[in-house]
Structures are given as C-alpha cells and as structure tokens.
Structure 1
Amino acid sequence: MKFQQYIEKHANQITLLTAILIVAGYLSKYALGSMPGYNVTLAIASVIAVIPIFIHAFQALKVKVISIELLVTIAVIGAFIIGEYNESAIVTFLFLFGGYLEKRTLSKTRESIKSLTEMAPTTALVVQDDGTTEEVDIDDVDEGDIVLVKTGASIPVDGKIVEGQGYTDESAVTGESKEIAKNVNDEVFSGTIVSDGFLKIEATKVGDDTTFAKIVELVEDAQDTKSHAEKFIDRFSTYYTPAVLILAIVVYLFSQDFKLAITVLVLGCPGALVIGAPVSNVAGIGNGAKRGILIKGGDAMDTFSKVDTFVFDKTGTLTKGNTAVSAVKSYTDDLNQTLALTAKVETLSDHPLGRAITAYAGHHQLEFNALPITDNTTTKGQGIAAVVDTKNVLVGNQKLMDANGIAMTEPQVADMKELQSTGSSVVLVAVDGQLQAILGVSDTIRPEIAEKLSELRKVGAKHLVMLTGDNAATANYVAQQVGIDEVHAELMPEDKVKFVKQFQKDGRRVAFVGDGINDSPSIATADIGIAMGSGTDVAIETSDVVLMQSSFDALVHAYGLAKNTVRNTKENIVIAVGVVAFLFIGLLLGFIYMASGMFVHEASILVVIFNAMRLIGYGKPADQIGEMAIEPAK
C-alpha cells in the first residue's frame, strides 16, 4: 500500500524520468552508436513507466474489471518478449504523459468548484458579551452568535444584519456582479464579500447548513452525477475492453503475428470514449455554476436539452413580484376603516397581494395592528374570512364572494373588469355582508421578458405556457404583453399539476419555471423543475435547475448551455469512435504501428478534452473566452 501511494505521489516524476531515459537511449544509438546502451536504457524506461500502469491494472482486476491499463501492461510484456523495447518505452511514456495532460486539463474544467470552495471563509470574528471580538474557527460558530464582518472580508454565516451598513458582492451565490446595498434587518449569505462598510450579523445558519455550503455541495454532486451518455459508455466499455483483448488473441491465432496482436491491444484502448462524456458534463455544469446557474447533474442536463415546453408561474416569475396597490374602488362612507380591517385580515397571509395591502395601509398610517381577530378561516384558492373587531370581513376573489352570498352590482362588476383589463389583480372586500371595496394590485412585468422569451424560442422552445392562480383577465393581459402562447388562469396548485401531466401525456418535454416554494408540486412533476432565485433551501433542494439571480438571461443561458453540452458530448463520442476506426484501418493498410497508434490515441484524448473545454467559455464575450477563473456573468 505504501509503495502504491509512493508511486501515485511521484507519477509526474516517473513520467519525466521515462522521457529522459528515452532521449538518453536514442542518443546512445545515434550519437554513440551503441545498440546495447540503446536497448538497456529503453528497457529500463519501459520497466519504470509500466509500474504505475500495472498497479492500476491490478487494482481493477481485483474488482473484476478489465481496464485500459491492463491492455497496455500486456502490450508492454509482449513488446519485451519480441524485443521491441523502443515500442514499449514510447507506449508507456505516451500513456503516462497523456494521463498527466488529462489531469491538468480536467482540473481546468473543475476550476469553478475550486474557486467556489476557496471563497468559503474558515474563521469568523464573533462578538463577545463585553463587546470585544474573538476570532474562532468557522465550525465553532453557533446559531444566534453575532459576527463582525469588515470591508473586504467574507461573510462566514447566513444571517440577519443587526448593526451597520455596507455593500456586498453576492456573485458567489447569484452570479450577479453588481454590489448590493445592505442595511439593518437585511439578510446576507455565507461566502459573499463585504466590499464596503462593516456589518454585525446574527447567525441564522452556520457550517454545512448555509446556502453557500449547499451550493458548493450541490455543484460537486452534480459534476459527479452521470448523464445518459456516460452511463451508456460505462456499460459499453465494460464489454468493449474485454472484446479488444479477445480480438487480439484471435488476431494472433489467425496471423501468428505476435507484434500485430500486441498492436491491436494498444490501438483498441477506448480512452477518448471513456473520458469524452464526463469531461463535457463537468465543463457544462462548471460554466453554469460560475454564473449562479445550478444544474443538478448529467441527467438533468440531458433532459433539459430536450425540453420543448416551458410552463411559467406569473407572480414573481414573469412579473417582479413586488406588488403594490395601484387602484381603490370604494363603496362605503368610511374607506379608512374598511382598509384597516382588510389590512388586519391580510396579516394572516404571506401572499404577495396581502403584503401589498398591509404595506399600503401602513403607508397611509392606518391603525390596524391593534384590531382583535376572534375567528378566521382560509379557503385555498379563494381568500380569508375573519371576524375583526366584531365585524365579519371577507377578503379574497369573486369565488369567495359567491360562496358567501355577497351580491355585486353591475357598476361594481364593471369596476372589477376594468381593473382586470389593465393587468391588475383584484381583491374584493366585504364587511358584514356588503361589498365595500375593490382593490387593484399591480405587479410590474419584468421589462426584459418579451425579448428573452423570444430568445428562448430561438434556442429551441416550441411552447410557452402560463399557469396562474390569478384571474383570467390579468393573466391574458400579461401573456399578451410578453408573448405567451397558452394561458390557464384561476388555478389552484393541484390544477397546475394536472396541466403539467396533460402536457407530458401529449408527448411534450416540460420545464416548469416557478419560485421553488409555492409551485413545488408542479416543479416536482415536470420533467425539469426550474426555481427562479431566492436561494432558499426549498428552491435548492426541490428543483433540477436553480437560477440564483432570478433572471431570464440566466434561463436562456442555462437552456442553451444544456443543448450545447449534450451536443458537445455527442461530438466527443463521434471523435473517439472515429479515431479507433481510423487506427484499425491504418493498421490494416500498414501505416499505423504500435507507438504511432498510441500517439494518435493519446492525442484523441486531448482533442475531446479541449473540445469539452470550449463549454467553459460558452456565453462569454469573445475577448473573455479562454479565461478559466470564475467570473460573474456580465
């Protein structure tokens, strides 16, 4: 075991020593005219170089796997038997050197993960009871501790600011490079940088529970999750490698040409085929990770590339989600009292419409917090009925009013339709059996949506669908503005799931784009679930793709990246199979030999790696392609 560890540790030095001995051997032959020196030197080079190859072959055989290394080891033994020391030395050197280059280039594709992990802080300044600070290991920070973060330092915990203000660079989490202003009560994430100012933060999540830690773990797991192509190649190579060994035996039995049989072993090595798919997968996922796009593995990448139908939630997805009361229709002499009662009822809800109404009441300095609620009932998909300050209050949609026998006059119905026609969501308020107000709540449509949905179509989307719990008039208005093909409104969560299942029955590949919380049933049902932003635990854990920026730029990039990654994988498979075919044809025609075949074989491995590395630069401006360090998306 110690010997194996020593060999592994010094693999690069063994490769270099082999190269020096090969050069010395050729100098001995051509400069000094010494054939014994030539043969002995190359034989020593072969023995030294084959040791790490043999160790890998032996370890594979112990678990009943016939590996590439076994083919090379047998080929070297065969070369020794026929006295072709130059062939064995060159083959082993090229194999080791190819492995060295493979590791170097693969490390480039994993650089996004390395950069992410290096951003993770290892210590924290914890504020003590007497106001002093103590630097402690990050593992010793507990929830509820107050940590101090100064300018230029990395935030070590997820938490809430309790003192101070400043600007943070959240590109490690969101991929967005702009600095974010932070003040008291704002939330911050571990791994982000305080670019200016100082913050005292109460820790709400520490260690492996932080958003940043989960992102790093997710991307690392994703890069190890195999795609359909990788799984197929694994199964294929399980049978292919023994088949090459059998072919070499058959060739020898028919030709009685031992050298030819050994050459078949070398040329049949499926190195490029084995490495081609994984390196594309790693490069594609790494590209997404450094832009705040988390794609959960090769399977998700493969399925995402085949999506033809995008299904969107409306609020917070196609719209910004920062709703505000934009119109009030009053049918009472005391509007302020009605609004106060409404706001109190909405304190029972965390719906964006409810938050907009409570914010509106607060802005107009209406006193509602002290009003007593003695009874309340929430009806899913309709609204809330409550007894507030002895008054029976209904706050919700028309279904709630109809269910409780609240009649609307023609002017009131006209007012409601007028608000809906402008894209406003409507909230109806009835007090003691009478409709007293209709509130129009508007949510701003994301300004870039129409353009980005058009780009999504160009990449390959065929059907764009909106499923929303909002009323039909508002939903149709938004759909018209942004270019949605199909709209279904006034849906409850289970209704959205039914539509997703129906699309799948119709033969569509469906991606559901939502906020990762309210739409989690639909996200789980769709072929690909996409969570837009927020960085919440639910968003990270329930969806296949997480867009930390909550931007449609990121959605278009992710979709294009998936298609390019799968295409790149197929290119690598074609290259690998094509090279093997070329080598065998060359062997039959007599212009490919053992050493030259190994050279082409190792070159093909580098070709597929470099082809995959093009994915690292996907989506970058031309002058940035080739830069390997993590850079936030511009």
Structure 2
Amino acid sequence: MKFSIKHEIKGRIRVHLHQNRMSFEQADTLLYYLTNNQYVTNAKVFERTADAAIYFVGDRENIIEALRKFAYENVDVPAAVLETSGRGLNNTYQRKMVEKVVYRYARRILLPYPVRAVYTTAMSLKYIYKGVKTLLKGKIEVPVLDATAIGVSVIRNDIATADSIMFLLGIGELLEEWTHKKSVDDLARTMSLNTGSVWMLSDGKEVQVSSNDIKEGDCVVVHMGTIIPFDGEVYDGEAMVNQASITGESMPVRRVKDNYVYAGTVVEEGEITIKVKKVGGTSQYEKIVGMIEETEKLKSASESKASHIADKLVPYTLGGTALTYLLTRNVTKALSVLMVDFSCALKLAMPITVLSAIREASLHNVTVKGGKFLEAVSEADTIVFDKTGTLTKAKPTVVDVVSFCDETPDELLRIAACLEEHFPHSMAKAVVEAAKQKSLEHEEMHSKVDYVVAHGISSYIDNRKAVIGSYHFVFEDEKCIVPEDKKEQFENISDEYSRLYLAIQGELAAVILIEDPLRDEAEAVVNSLRKSGISKVVMMTGDSDRIAKNIAEKVGVDVYYSEVLPADKAAFVEKERSEGRKVIMIGDGINDSPALSAANVGIAISDGAEIAREIADITVGSDDLYQIVTLKMLSDALMKRIKKNYRTIVGFNSGLILCGVTGILAPTTSALLHNASTLAISLKSMESFLD
C-alpha cells in the first residue's frame, strides 16, 4: 500500500493513503487490520480524507512495515464487523443535519413570504396533530406544549417564530435520535458475539476449529458455561440455556434434541451438540439491538425521573401562560411563558448524558449494558472481589507437576490439559497453556466430561475414572486417597502455590502447582476505590485459607472469606443488600455468576467465563484493574453532570420566563434562547466526562 506520513510524534503517526476515495468497507478493513496489530494501541481511519491516525508502542518501523504490507484483499474481516461498523449511520445523520440547515436558510432566501407562510402552516399540522392526539388520550404532556406554542404562533401570523420553534425541535429530535442510535449500536457491537474458536464434532471426536470454518449443517459441541456460537437445532444432549440476551427471560430454559437455540445464549448447565442453521451475518447483532431498544435496560432512574418530571411540568407551563394572560391581559407576555418550558431540555439532555457516558466507558474498554448500572456504581458503598483472575493476574502459570504414580509429570500434564481444555477458567487455561508450551499433544482420549461448578471435572480415560479439581472435590466429594507410600511426599508439597489435584481410579495421580500472582495494581486500586467512596472491600475465594489470607493482607481488603462455594458468594451479597448496602460484585468464573446476578451491579472480567460476561451488567478488560476505578470516576461524573443539568435547565428557563412576563424579552427571543439553550446543554452533555 502506498502512503505518505502527514504528521508524527512519539507514539502517534498520521498517514495519508494514496487512493482517490475510500469506501466505508475499505476504512473498516484498514481499521480492523491496524487494531489487530500487536504494536497498535488505538487507531482511527477517516474515509473522507483517506487518512489514518495510529497510536502505537515500540519502534515506528513496525508500523511503517505493517502499512507497506497492507492490502485490502488480503485482510479477512468478519462480516459482522463490516456490516455493523456505524460509519454508514454517522454519514446518514451528518447528511440529514446539513440538509436540514441548508433547506431552512434556502427557503428563507429563495421563497417569498406568502409561500413560506403556507409551507410553515402545513408543517405545523404535524406537531398540532401530535398534541391533539396526546390530549385525546387524556394526557397533557410535551407534545401538547409544542403544539400550543406552534399553533398560537401560526394563529397570530408570527410565522418566523413558528418556523424557528419547529426548526430547533427538528434539530433536537435529529440530534437525540443520532446520539441514541449511535450509542445503542456501539453498545450492541460490544455485546455482540465474538467467538474465536469452537468445538466441532468430526468423526465422533471434538476438534477445535475457527468459527469462520463452520458451515451450515456442521455439528458444534457447546459445553457448560460457554456461549452458543450459532443459531441451530439441538442434535444431542440436554442443557439449561440462559436466553436473557435474546428473549429477556430471567430463568434458563431446558433445551433437548430438536429444540432450537440462538446464537449469543449461554449454556448454564449440561452440554449440547447443535446442528448449525445460520452462520455469520448480523442476526445476533440485530437481536441485541432489538433487545436493547425494547427493554428499559438503558434507562437510569435519573432518565426516568427527568422524563416523568418533564411531562408533569407541562400542565404548570400551560397554567402559567393562562395565569399571566389573566393578570396582565397581555398576549405577548403570556406567549413568553408558553414559548419556554423545562420539558424539552430535560427530555433531551438527560438521555444524551447517560448514553454519552456509556459510549465513553467503551473507549476505556468497559462495556456497560445500561445507564442504571452507572448510577448504581456511583451509589455503591460495598465491593466484593473474587480472587482468582480478578485480584490476581488473569493468566496464572503452572510451576510444577508433582507425580504420585508411575506416570511422568509430562504425561500427567497432558491428561490434565485434555480434561481442562473444554472449560473457561483461568486455572484450566494455565494447564492447557503449559501443555502447549511443552508441545504435549492431547487429542480427545476421554469420554464425555462432567463439570461440577467450583469443584472440578470428572471423566473416563481408557475406562479409568479421572477427576481433576479442588481438594474438596477430589478428596471429600470423590473420596479419593493418597497412596500410602506417597503421604510424606504429599505433606511436604510447597504451600506457596495454588493447587489442582488429579486423581485416577480413586488415587491421587498428580498435584499441579499453579502460580497465581497478585496484580501489581491491586492494592492501589483498592485504595483508590476507598477514596472514591467505597467503605467496605471484601474478597471471596474458593482457594485455601492460607493463600486467601496472604492475598488479603497484601491487597488490604477489610474482610476475606476462603473456601467458599458459589452459593456462599451469592448469599453474602444478598445479606449485604438486605442490610441496606449497595453492592458491586466483581468476578470472572462460572462460580461467580450467582453473586454477579445477586449484586446491585455485577462486573465481569472480559476474558473470564462467557456466562459471567452474559450475566454481568458491566464488563471490564482483563489487562488492568484501574478500569474499575475509571468506571467509578465516570459514574460519579455522570451523576454530577445530571445534577448540574437540572440546575442549569431550571435556572436558565426560570430566568427566561421572568424576563418574558416582565416584558424584557419578546416571545420570539424567548423561544430562540430556550431552544438554543436546550441544544447547547445537550451538546455540552456529549462532552467527555474524564478530561
């Protein structure tokens, strides 16, 4: 690809691609290519100018070389990325805004007054119809106020005022629609399915393949705790499926052979094999958009309150207009009250404020599923952390495999990886990664595996029962034993590391020692959260008391609980809430799901179990816990802006009404200032919260 460098500073370079024009698809392709480069931290592509701004780490030559090698035809971009990028949406609304402004001033310049008067009167009928329709429903709400203001202006032959009101209302509606749709689309894209690999059933064996290789009619195995990657029919197995992301159902539904399942839903219990009916495309994306549009998830209490207050204020505005006329017998002063109301600004600015906050959160790698969750984060006083993969690093590593049988450590690691590779937990990933680094091939050599949440895995290998998991699961639930001649060796295992126990035929075969180091930023994050208003910090883990105590002391939590089960975490959260505390729960595993659901706000780590991300209200990136602090700061800033908006709207519009009643401002001026202030507040609400 030919390009030239327009500008560069350390860590940032802006280039211009040598091509006549850039299509939306080409822009999205280049953006996808850049953002998937290991050296690129962020990138923006401007299709109108064929420019790209690239933020990077390391040597600039890595970026230059990547651009030299770039060719549109060589980049395999998922169809959903191209179809839901949002570039077309932005272009459409930008064109609508320009057209609206151009048409208005073209009419004023080119059309004679009588023609403009007829046109304005005809356009006013739409608003008057909405107002009458609202009245016939027995409601006195914002459409009634708009209809009255426009209707009275037309009757008084004040065509300029009526035209100005409709123009500003139209701009406001377009701006709100654009912002809302953009925010919903951004949110839906982040929530959309992004499955890298799946387990395909081939010749009776499970084979891990790229999701892009799946075709209609293929059979895919979906294990407990993972997302169903495609629409299809159940071919084999039985499972309880959480369909909340598609249907809004709060309880999981049972799915058996011949039942239909949807992409994006999650297997909570059991395991199923599905015959794929649909692959690729935007079906999942569209379903999520529909779900967001149809539910009240995006509505925070502040938004609902603003909308409610806006409608409640309409009768008072109409009453104030009538009272002003009765007291002054001055139509102009009465109209000054009518032209100004609090409703427009409240109804427009508040949703835009919340949706802008959601969009800004996404820029910090934080996905928020609704405004009410930001509000809940702001109000929270208690935070509960899971330990593994949350306070500790997201990628624990295997330090050693201690053999308690005749098999070699590598062979035991191979067996463990074969069992663990199906399940989304950081410890399981550590085992699989360790086997991969040693080039230990572990093709399917076991029968169907059973996963016991927060405990372990059970299966059969060569007709021998194999279990792997926690001490409680292996020795207490499964009644496995340590070989007599190995008990001293077992007692002398290092206490420094977390452990996974592998037993075959009821006897301990191996202890896998896993290093699960504390995140570097964990202590600082906890301190920052306290300073931001969190009064109680709790850590809960299924790990041993010895390891839990060590982590708790380093992090500085107020209280910790060890060797807890999923039900224990959920019960603790519910107990705290019953005592009047506002609780945030942060976790990454299947075992955290009940507590995530029970909390006021559930926050999942992005590379954790898919069911945790599905159930959680907010998802944060796995690379930096400071995103939680950023989320708290953003939530607090959102609530401050909402309160400031209330004060500004009430104060400014009250001043306009006072100036109108006293004759300082004419109705046309009041209407202009009122609508201009509404747009100004709305545009101000779209500004960054954390700059």
State if a TM-score over 0.5 links the two structures: yes
Q: Within 5 A, what are the aligned runs for 1:50-89? A: 50-61=124-135, 63-75=137-149, 78=152, 85=157, 88-89=158-159
- Kindly indicate whether the alpha-carbon contact (under 8 Å) linking 1:470 and 1:489 is maintained by their aligned counterparts in 2: yes
**Aligned counterpart for 1:336 among listed residues 378, 389, 407:** 407
Q: Does 1:415 align with 2:489?
A: no
Distance 2:124 2:117 in 1: 11
Read off the aligned partner of 1:206 and give its amino acid letter: G
Amino acid across the alignment from 2:161:
V
Say if 2:300 is the partner of 1:227: yes
Which residue of the partner structure matches residue 618 of structure 1?
689
Select 1:505's aligned residue among 578, 583, 588: 578
Q: Which deviates the most, 43-52 or 496-505? A: 43-52
1:427 partner SS = strand
Change (3 A) 1:397 1:577: same
Contact 2:450–2:459, Cα closer than 8 Å, also in 1: yes
After superposing the two structures, state which structure 1 stretch, 509-518 or 342-351, moved more: 342-351
Task: For 1:207-246, list aligned pairs within 5 A.
Answer: 207-208=281-282, 225-246=298-319
TM superposition shift of 1:296 = 1.6
Task: Tell me what 1:95 maps to.
Answer: 165
1:284 aligns with 2:373: no
Q: Is the 8 A contact 1:227 1:297 kept in 2?
A: yes
Percent identity of the aligned residues?
Answer: 24
User: Match of 1:91, as an amino acid?
Assistant: T
Letter in 1 for 2:145: L
Q: Match of 1:206?
A: 280
Provide the rounded CA distance (Å) in 2 between the counterparts of 1:118 and 1:544. 15
User: Where in structure 2 are there 5+ consecutive unaligned residues?
Assistant: 1-96, 193-211, 220-228, 232-262, 265-275
User: What CA distance in whole angstroms lies between the structure 1 residues aligned with 2:444 and 2:680?
Assistant: 71
Query: 2 CA distance for matches of 1:316 and 1:251?
Result: 65
Distance 1:361 1:518 in 2: 25
After TM superposition, give the deviation of residue 510 of structure 1 in Å: 1.1
Counterpart for residue 124 of structure 1: none
Which residue of 1 is the match for residue 668 of structure 2?
Answer: 595
Distance 1:18 1:64, change over 3 A: farther
Q: Is 1:16 aligned to residue 105 of structure 2?
A: yes
Q: In 2 relative to 1, CA 90–397 (structure 1 residues): closer, same or farther, beyond 3 Å?
A: same
Note the C-alpha offset of 1:261: 2.7
Rounded to whole Å, the distance in 2 between the matches of 1:362 and 1:47 is 74
Q: What secondary structure does 2:586 align onto? A: strand
Instruction: Tell me, yes or no, if structure 1 residue 546 matches structure 2 residue 619.
Output: yes
Q: Distance in 1 between matches of 2:492 and 2:294?
A: 54
1:327 counterpart SS class: strand
Amino acid at match of 1:71: L
Query: Aligned ranges for residues 472-483 of structure 1 at < 5 Å?
Result: 472-483=545-556
Equivalent positions of 1:173-188 (< 5 A) are: none
CA distance in 2, matches of 1:79, 1:353: 70
Task: Look up the SS of the partner of 1:601 in the other structure.
Answer: helix
Q: State the shift of 1:561 in Å.
A: 2.0
After TM superposition, the structure 1 = structure 2 runs for residues 98-109 of structure 1, keeping only pairs within 5 Å, are: 98-103=168-173, 105-106=175-176, 107=178
Deviation track 1:422-444 (CA, whole Å, cap 9, x = no partner) reads 3x112346678876754321124
Q: Give the drift of 1:298.
A: 2.2
CA deviations 1:272-307 (Å, max 9, x no partner) are 122121111121122223444321222222222212
Matches within 5 A, 1:349-364: 349=420, 350=423, 352-354=426-428, 356-357=430-431, 360=434
* Alpha carbons 1:344, 1:358 under 8 Å: kept: no
Per-residue deviation, 1:365: 7.8
Residue 593 of structure 2 is matched in structure 1 by 520
Identify the structure with bigger relative contact order (alpha carbons < 8 Å, sequence gap 6+): 1
The change in CA–CA distance for 1:472 and 1:298 in structure 2 (over 3 A counts) is same
Tell me which structure has the larger Cα radius of gyration. 1
Q: Is the 8 A contact 1:328 1:439 kept in 2?
A: yes
What per-residue deviation string (whole Å, max 9, x for no partner) do you get for residues 568-625 of structure 1? 22221221111232123323444233122212211220232122111xx334xx6xxx
Task: State the alpha-carbon separation in 1 of the partners of residues 608 and 623 from structure 2.
Answer: 9
Matches of 1:398 and 1:478 in 2, distance apart?
Answer: 19
Tell whether the 8 Å contact from 1:324 to 1:360 is kept in structure 2 after alignment: yes
CA distance in 1, matches of 2:395, 2:657: 64
Q: Relative to 1, partners in 2 of residues 1:219 and 1:72: Cα closer, same or farther, differing over 3 Å?
A: closer
Report the 3-state secondary structure (helix = DSSP H, G, I; strand = E; otherwise coil) of the residue aligned with 1:312: strand
Name the residue aligned to 2:253: none
1:271 paired to 2:344? yes
CA distance in 1, matches of 2:464, 2:216: 46
Partner SS, residue 460 of structure 1: coil
1:252/1:450 Cα in 2 relative to 1: closer, same or farther (>3 Å)? same
> Aligned in 2, Cα 1:99/1:383: closer, same or farther, shift over 3 Å?
closer
Offset at residue 490 of structure 1 (A): 0.8
Cα deviation, residue 328, structure 1: 4.7
2: CA distance, partners of 1:42 / 1:204: 53
Q: 330, 335, 343: which one pairs with 1:257?
A: 330
RMSD of aligned alpha carbons: 4.8
Residue 509 of structure 1 deviates from its aligned partner by 1.2
Give the equivalent residue in structure 2 for 1:311.
Answer: 384
Structure-2 separation of matches of 1:302 and 1:142? 43
Contact 2:584-2:600 at 8 Å conserved across structures? yes
Partners of 1:377 and 1:14 in 2: how far apart?
66
Shift in Å at residue 354 of structure 1? Answer: 4.9
Checking the alignment, whether the CA contact within 8 Å between 1:222 and 1:297 is kept in structure 2 is no
Distance 1:437 1:549 in 2: 30
Which residue type is aligned with residue 98 of structure 1?
Answer: L
Separation in structure 2 between the aligned mates of residue 41 and residue 365 of structure 1, nearest angstrom: 81
DSSP-derived class of the 2:560 partner: strand
Q: CA deviation at 1:51?
A: 4.3
Equivalent residues in 2 for 1:524-603, closer than 5 Å: 524-534=597-607, 538-547=611-620, 551-603=624-676
What whole-Å deviation, never above 9, does each CA across 1:507-530 have from its counterpart, x for those lacking one?
Answer: 221111122644221111111111
How far apart are 1:54 and its partner, in Å?
2.8
Q: TM-score, normalising length from structure 1?
A: 0.67
Residues 96 and 516 of structure 1, relative CA distance in 2, 3 Å threshold: farther
Structure 1 residues 224, 506: CA separation in 2 closer, same or farther (over 3 Å shift)? closer
Which sits farther off after the overlay, 354-363 or 588-597? 354-363
Q: Which residue matches 2:498?
A: 425
Q: 1: distance between equivalents of 2:671 and 2:576?
A: 50
Q: Quote the Cα distance in structure 2 between the aligned partners of 1:364 and 1:436.
A: 20
Give the paired residue count: 517
Q: Is the 8 A contact 2:336 2:665 kept in 1?
A: no
Q: In structure 2, what residue type is equivalent to 1:618?
A: F
TM-score (norm 2): 0.62
Once the two structures are superposed, residues 138-162 of structure 1 have per-residue CA deviations (whole angstroms, 9 ceiling, x without a partner) of 9x984759xxxxxxxxxxx999xxx
**In structure 1, how many angstroms separate the alpha carbons of the residues matched to 2:617 and 2:557?**
23
Distance 1:474 1:335, change over 3 A: farther
The Cα shift of 1:17 comes to 5.7
For structure 1, list consecutive stretches of 5 or more residues without a partner in the other structure. 1-7, 26-39, 121-137, 146-156, 160-188, 191-201, 623-634
Q: Supply the distance in 1 between the matched residues of 2:280 and 2:466 (Cα, whole angstroms).
A: 43
What secondary structure does 1:267 align onto?
coil
Q: Indicate conservation of the 8 Å contact 1:313/1:513, yes or no.
A: yes
